[in-house]
Structure 1
């Protein structure tokens, strides 16, 4: 049966037993962020908004009661951080002009999550 080895740097190795050999391969980071937006398209000119939720999971995709900061970056803007509550942080995204908004969220020593919102006239 496979098992996992968590390294000090946050990487998780999957351990396989193949015949008489033990093999370790990179599986994931200990924690990762998933981003979900309630809308993929919003209206420009700050006439609309999307709610983006960042949630922290472990390497087995279990929700983590993470209480540290979740860092966000929208497009090329400077990153900012929000404290997670129960492993979750929520932002509202608007745009003052027509554009694609690339959103990334991450935690220290974890894998990041990304999503894209299209601000356009429909």
Structure 2
């Protein structure tokens, strides 16, 4: 098979992924979260706080317990926010789809499932 055909098939795969339920759910969850000022600000505060603490750690500074507690509180707030949880679930489902795609491609490149189709959940043709 020519490189051109492989690239064409890869483009078709990308188009299929772009129209998948998983990506649509992820985009909707992102839109809902961005539209909700409280949820969006919570994520931004968490990311900012986490990055500042990581920078301090990299610089060799000792983190005050108060700052670590603040990050833990923000994490708890994230975990209790339904829009954040919806986004995380949608992201996880999309990540699972992509892992399955990479796994299938790797199996095809390697020449099939090692140990038969039962090793990867079945459904393939060796």
TM-score (ref. length: structure 1): 0.21
Report which of the two has the higher share of strand: 1
Report which of the two has the higher share of helix: 2
